[in-house]
Structure 1
Amino acid sequence: MEDEKIKAYEELYKRIPCSVCKEGCFECCTNIIQFHPAEEENMGGYVWNGKCNHLVDGKCSIYSKRPFVCRIYGAGSIMSCEDCTPENPLTEEEIRQLFKEYKALLNKK
């Protein structure tokens, strides 16, 4: 992934609060996800087989390199998981704004 794209994604990622997940919860890892090819490259590829191939022993093996959609899941009330609590939940408006900015990055060449 190009350095400037990595930096742009990282700046966006910093604005997403961490979720405190219940141990053994990996609900977000069992959904088919979409992400930018640059994110896929950064995380070392992606294979869907009923769950994310980076889910190892009930934990994310690429946690620091996980894509936007994995980070935003559970960060606010409109994308919540009942077993996980964000440190500072995002409002619906904040989540929509982050998605808008993420989509702009997807379309940036």
Structure 2
Amino acid sequence: MSANSQKIRFFRRRIPSFECIPDCHDCCGPVTASSEEMARLPVKSNVDREKSLAEWRCVHLGEHGCEVYDERPLICRLFGTINTLRCPRGRQPNMLADPMIETQIFEFMRHTRHVLV
């Protein structure tokens, strides 16, 4: 396992989870993810990517919600769990993510190559 994969695993365990409003996908726009995170996601065609971008939504958002929920990138996991990425509908976990973990995740994102999901 690469050092970046280990960091991603570490960060995932430290981001709190919470229940979203059913059928709400307000946070599911195009995002960027590290190469390691992308390697865990299904490959989508250029046509699918272009259609999703035109609709300003994530290419992995299907009829029944996120098709890659268990493997979703760190940025998706952060939505609603930190002050700078609040849920537009006011949902959040009982305790937000530790600010030190938030800082470490954004530092990791700054130093890894990211591609558009």
- The alignment's TM-score, normalised by the length of structure 2, stands at 0.72
Alignment of 1:1-109 (within 5 A): 3-4=1-2, 5-29=4-28, 31-45=29-43, 47=49, 49=52, 50=55, 51-83=57-89, 84-90=91-97, 92=99, 94-104=101-111, 106=112
Q: 4+ runs of 1 displaced by more than 3 Å? A: 91-94, 101-104
Report the Cα distance in structure 1 between the residues aligned to 2:23 and 2:12, rounded to whole angstroms: 23
User: Which structure has the higher relative contact order (CA within 8 Å, separation 6+)?
Assistant: 2
| CA gap 1:13/1:103 in 2 versus in 1, 3 angstroms | farther
Secondary structure at 2:92's aligned position in 1? strand
Structure 2 residue ranges without an equivalent (≥5): none
Structure 1 residue ranges without an equivalent (≥5): none
How many residues are treated as equivalent by the alignment? 103
Q: Measure how far apart 1:102 and its partner are.
A: 4.0
Could you tell me the percent identity over the aligned residues? 21
RMSD across aligned C-alpha pairs, in angstroms? 2.2
CA deviation digits over 1:28-82, x for unaligned, max 9?
11x2211112211211235351211211124111111111111111112221013
Q: Measure how far apart 1:94 and its partner are.
A: 4.4
| CA gap 1:38/1:97 in 2 versus in 1, 3 angstroms | closer
- The alignment's TM-score, normalised by the length of structure 1, stands at 0.76
